[in-house]
Structure 1
Amino acid sequence: MPAAEVAARVRESLASLKASDFKDAQVMEVLKLAQQLTDTMQLFFGSLDRSIHEEFRYIANYISRTREEISKLRPNDIKEQRIPVAGAELEAVVTDTEKATESIMSEAEAVLCMDAEDDPAAYKAAVDEAMMKIIESCSFQDLAGQRVSKVVSSLKHVEKRVTRFAQTMGVADADADEEESSEAERRRTLHLNGPAIGGPEKKQDEVDQILKADLDQNAIDALFD
């Protein structure tokens, strides 16, 4: 029952008692105090009701805004379209690269096995044909570039949506859990982050010095843990 209704009923009861023919001054004084207490409590509970109402309205608005932002994020599109398509494109890049590499190596090996002294003209024709096949195989990089561009576009699209959602909702990054932190530290220690963007971090001379260094078996095993 709302506080205002409770206070109204109490006030009605007090008014009914006052209307009765009470001659006792102490009873009338108690009724006056009760009336004052009722008025005070009505103000208190009334303000409390308004405060609670405002809090719930704020929560409702926040939930509504969250639902709207999640809808704009379009998670189903990301899950059912963007990510699967990007994965398929990357798999196709791997497949095309494997086929091209196999073709190039096969043709190069065939050229190495040829004997130019037996029939120079036939040798030249065979080499020309092998070179054309190698050049054709190298064209995979154009198709691979197109596929990778699609993947990058999808990733940027997802990044844009997630960034907008995080900024709108005021989401801050949580601390990495222990497993993620230990894995990141392991990768930094063992230099397992892959090639650096823009080229290798070390020159060939430095790499040669590392390879010439005496490494014990434990150090070698640690690279594969």
Structure 2
Amino acid sequence: MKRVSTDHLDRIVEFVRARREDDVSLGDVVALAELTVESLSSFFRSLDMAVYRELSEIATFITNMKAEIGRLQPNDLKQSRIPAAGMELDAIVKATEKATDTIMGAAEEVMAADPAQPGYKALVDERMMLIFEACSFQDITGQRVAKVIETLQHIEARVSRFAEAINAADAEGYMTDEERRREERKVRNILHGPQLDGAGADQSQVDALFSKPEGEGGSQAAIDALFK
């Protein structure tokens, strides 16, 4: 930003010094005011330009932000893709429950049947066919899971591009009190859920822990530490 003109300031100082010991007339006051206005005019012009540039940059940033939000297509995510993914997951749960009930029901009938009774083989064959048909749910479930994964990848790509465009950084303390309580409860009660292959404690670690003599590591604290 430009500074006040030094030449104009020097002229003001010289004017004041020259009139310091003389009576100051109205003309002198007017002349001093003119010099002051002249010296500050360049400063205010530069100030106006600086404010204009900053406001212009803010306006450009807001315009770019709106464009990026538009590319994010939040309405499409909210009204179409996310609800569709939710319905697919709901269908997966229902199909899994139905298949499980069918398989378990057929298996119970086979186990309860008397092999010595007539028609036992026909019953077993019929129930086995029901089990095979129920197992076919995996194919449809796999297709539904693939659609959900595609939606998640789509959302991830858009959010990542948006974050890069606005140079976003992770904020501290983003969790609500309820979310924080749930996370603390998961850690406290070891509610990590099913682990992926290669993650978490494997069976050999669990077996080794429980095979130790009492007092040599089989305490509750050691068990909790294993699953954290």
**Residue 196 (1) aligns with residue 189 (2):** no
Q: Which amino acid aligns with 1:32?
A: A
Q: Bigger shift: 143-152 or 192-201?
A: 192-201
The structure 2 residue matched to 1:147, chosen from 139, 144, 148, is 144
**Larger helix fraction of residues:** 1
TM-score, normalised relative to structure 1: 0.75
* Normalised TM-score (structure 2): 0.74
Q: Once the 2 structures are TM-superposed, how far is the Cα of residue 84 of structure 1 from its aligned partner?
A: 0.4
Aligned length: 189
For residues 118-171 of structure 1, what are the alpha-carbon distances to aligned partners after superposition, in whole Å with 9 as ceiling and x for unaligned? Answer: 33xx22222111111101100101111110111111011011111111111111
- 2 CA distance for matches of 1:58 and 1:40? 29
Is 1:65 aligned to residue 64 of structure 2? yes
Q: Which amino acid aligns with 2:140?
A: L
Residue 39 (structure 1) aligns with: 38
Shift of 1:114: 1.2
The verdict on how the C-alpha distance between 1:134 and 1:205 changes in structure 2, with shifts beyond 3 A counting, is farther
| Identity score, percent | 42
Q: Deviation per CA, 1:67-110, whole angstroms, max 9, x where unpaired?
A: 00000000000000011000000000011011101110111111
Aligned partners of 2:219 and 2:51: how far apart in 1? 72
In the other structure, the counterpart of 1:74 is 73
Q: How does 1:101-120 map to 2 (within 5 A)?
A: 101-119=100-118
Distance 1:97 1:138 in 2: 9
**Code of the aligned partner of 2:189:** L
2:206 aligns with: 206
Determine the C-alpha separation between the residues in 1 that align with 2:104 and 2:152.
33
Q: Deviations over 1:163-218 (max 9, x none)?
A: 111111111111234623343232123221211111662417827949xx898xxx
Equivalent-residue separation in structure 2 for 1:56 and 1:140 (angstroms): 59
SS in structure 2 of the partner of residue 115 of structure 1: coil
